[in-house]
């Protein structure tokens, strides 16, 4: 199981980036920070840092990055800042300015995606899972979740994708377009290997777009295999479980029975 997004930074150690003078640029950010933005980083906030440094939080390739502008405004340190006790001074501002908002954004995108509900709409906990109709581990997780779903404690939202086999997309399309998708999914999962779910012969363009969007979203969330399970922990942070969870992780995802 991993946290989404991953912490700490992917950058190892501290790098010193010398920035030439670009005083002609009239912008809110200092020129040295603009130079980092020009290399693809997105500045999302500022934070206080010790010894005359000014901290900036950035997003780069889906990860958080801490920038420290020197007092002269001419150099930028990239990486993790530690104090004399070895405490990571970059973690808290990155969590607050990058990862928490990023998690909320991704949660909203999953809410707005195409999914099939499994469980009560009034369930106090919602768990998102990217599911392929041909995925045996998706079926295992479906079975693992029954005590919580049947008790009305959790609603699973299956974001259907087609990636494992040639007919996965067509089977996912059949589920999405069924008269009662919830019942169709339940019947398919209950049957397991004996499922009689038939792939759709011709997938409508609208449904294919939904499947494509779901698969693209899955990739943007950093997941490469199904089931990819996303849930909020006790602190409201978005977490990811790749694959069917162990008993301990299952309780973390679903809550107490």
- The reported pLDDT for the residue numbered 187 is 98
| Alpha carbon distance 182, 119 (integer Å) | 9
| Alpha carbon distance 224, 228 (integer Å) | 8
- State the pLDDT confidence band at 153, using cuts at 50, 70 and 90: very high
pLDDT in tens, 203-244: 999 999 999 999 999 998 889 999 999 999 988 889 999 999
Asked whether the beta carbons of 172 and 235 are under 8 A apart, the reply is no
| Alpha carbon distance 132, 136 (integer Å) | 9
DSSP string, 118-175: ES-TT-SEEEEEEE-TT-HHHHHHHHHTHHHHHTTSEEEEEEE---SSTTHHHHHHHH
- The reported pLDDT for the residue numbered 62 is 75
Whether 25 shows a pLDDT value over 80: the answer reads: no
Average pLDDT value over all residues in the chain: 89
DSSP string, 40-52: T-EEEEEEE-STT
Whether 200 shows a pLDDT value over 50: the answer reads: yes
The contacts found for 181-185 with CB under 8 angstroms, 24 or more apart, are: 181/116, 182/116, 182/117, 182/118, 185/116, 185/118, 185/158
| Alpha carbon distance 65, 241 (integer Å) | 23
Whether 15 shows a pLDDT value over 80: the answer reads: no
Instruction: Catalogue all structural domains in the chain, each as residue range(s) with its CATH number.
Output: 2-101 (3.10.450.70), 113-254 (3.40.30.10)
pLDDT in tens, 34-87: 999 999 999 999 999 999 999 999 999 878 999 999 999 999 999 999 999 999
- The reported pLDDT for the residue numbered 17 is 41
| Alpha carbon distance 210, 255 (integer Å) | 30
DSSP string, 170-237: HHHHHHHTSSSHHHHHHHHHHHGGG--PPPPSS--HHHHHHHHHHHHHHHHTT--SS-EEEEE-TTS-
Whether 21 shows a pLDDT value over 70: the answer reads: no
Whether 101 shows a pLDDT value over 60: the answer reads: yes
- State the pLDDT confidence band at 164, using cuts at 50, 70 and 90: very high
Asked whether the beta carbons of 31 and 22 are under 8 A apart, the reply is yes
């Amino acid at each position: 199981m991993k946290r989404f997004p991953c912490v700490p930074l992917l950058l190892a150690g501290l790098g010193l980036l010398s920035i030439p003078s670009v005083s002609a640029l009239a912008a809110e950010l200092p020129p040295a920070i603009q130079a980092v933005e020009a290399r693809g980083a997105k500045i999302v906030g500022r934070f206080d840092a010790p010894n005359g440094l000014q901290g900036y939080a950035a997003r780069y390739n889906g990860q958080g990055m801490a920038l420290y502008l020197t007092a002269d405004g001419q150099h930028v340190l990239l990486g993790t800042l530690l104090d004399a006790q070895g405490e990571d001074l970059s973690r808290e501002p990155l969590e607050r300015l990058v990862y928490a908002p990023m998690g909320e954004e991704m949660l909203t995108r999953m809410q707005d995606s195409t999914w099939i509900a499994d469980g009560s709409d009034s369930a106090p906990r919602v768990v998102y899972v990217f599911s392929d109709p041909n995925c045996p581990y998706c079926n295992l997780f479906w079975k693992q979740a029954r005590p919580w779903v049947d008790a009305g404690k959790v609603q699973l939202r299956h974001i259907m994708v087609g990636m494992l086999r040639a007919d996965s997309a067509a089977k996912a399309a059949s589920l999405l377009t069924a008269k009662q998708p919830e019942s169709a999914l339940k019947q398919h999962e209950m049957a397991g290997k004996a499922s009689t779910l038939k792939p759709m012969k011709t997938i409508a363009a609208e449904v294919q777009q939904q499947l494509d969007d779901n698969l693209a979203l899955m990739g943007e969330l950093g997941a490469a295999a199904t089931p990819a399970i996303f849930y909020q922990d006790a602190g409201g942070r978005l977490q990811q479980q790749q694959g069917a969870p162990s008993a301990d992780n299952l309780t973390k995802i679903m809550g107490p029975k």
